[in-house]
Amino acid sequence: MSPSTARVAVITGAAGNLGPVWTRGLLEAGYRVAALSLHGTEQDPVLVELGSTYGDTLDVITADVTVRDDLEAAAARIQQRWGTPDVLVNNAGVDVPPRPGEGTLLEDVPADTFRRVLEVNVLGAFQAMQVFGAAMSAVGRGSIVNIGSLYASVSPDPRMYDHVPMEPPFLKPPAYGASKAGLVNLSRYFCTHLARTGVRVNTLSPGGVAGGQDAEFVRKFSARVPLGRLARPDELVQPLLFLASDASSYVTGIELKVDGGFTAW
């Protein structure tokens, strides 16, 4: 695929845990990628390395998904440089891994903490779909892939974390699963409204992904997965490319779970 005919993808939260995975996967597949990242994260080592490898087919843009003006400015920059995006990957999200000494009781979770997760994970995706979905609708094509989670379907098991030394014990943010469940339904909502304009909207929900977790967590989590292990980051790329490409031209409104069977039990 030549640069003049390459498709254009937008990724929010490009410097997050999975952002570089989606960015690399789409670049390797021949896409031109606009990687949206918060101020200060645009110098993420992986994004810098990808920029040196893929040159002007990667454009890292500072943008906060909770700020509509940031998204409008990013859309204008992408439109001027490459035209209307073909793909939007809503990856920006807030999660909290276990950190020693930072446990909390459920009744003590601050409302502002809960609200911030919803603002980024749901409102941010909503605004990105408004901005880029409208541009896609205007040209009659596009694919939006919202990144969900297995915790959109099930609650985190606190026993996965009870070996982590902290008191109060680690608490997976209650807003995280709620936000991802909301995002799954928001995807369905947008899919029904954008389908008539040729824009598809789906959710890709990963399960646990290997990324330096402690050995005891890996053991516990793997025992709960029918396939017996966490996912490798590269195993998420082909499902993303399927939803992004014309290979899924008659697929919209679904949640594709890539979780090794975790939610089958």
Residues in the chain: 265
Q: Of 152, 135, 153, which is closest to residue 144 (Cα–Cα)? A: 135
Tokens found for residue 39: 């101020």
| Site of tokens 């290997």 | 210
Please say if 176 is a catalytic residue: yes
Q: Do residues 190 and 129 make contact, with C-beta atoms less than 8 angstroms apart?
A: yes
Q: Do residues 33 and 59 make contact, with C-beta atoms less than 8 angstroms apart?
A: yes
The region that residue 260 occupies, defined by phi over 0 for left and psi between -120 and 50 for alpha, beta otherwise, is: left
Cα–Cα distance for residue pair 156/230, rounded to 1 Å: 15
Tokens found for residue 64: 């906060």
Residues 6+ apart with CB under 8 A from 82: 8, 32, 34, 59
Cα–Cα distance for residue pair 204/187, rounded to 1 Å: 10
From 151, 176, 189, 250, the catalytic residue: 176
Active-site annotation, residues: 176
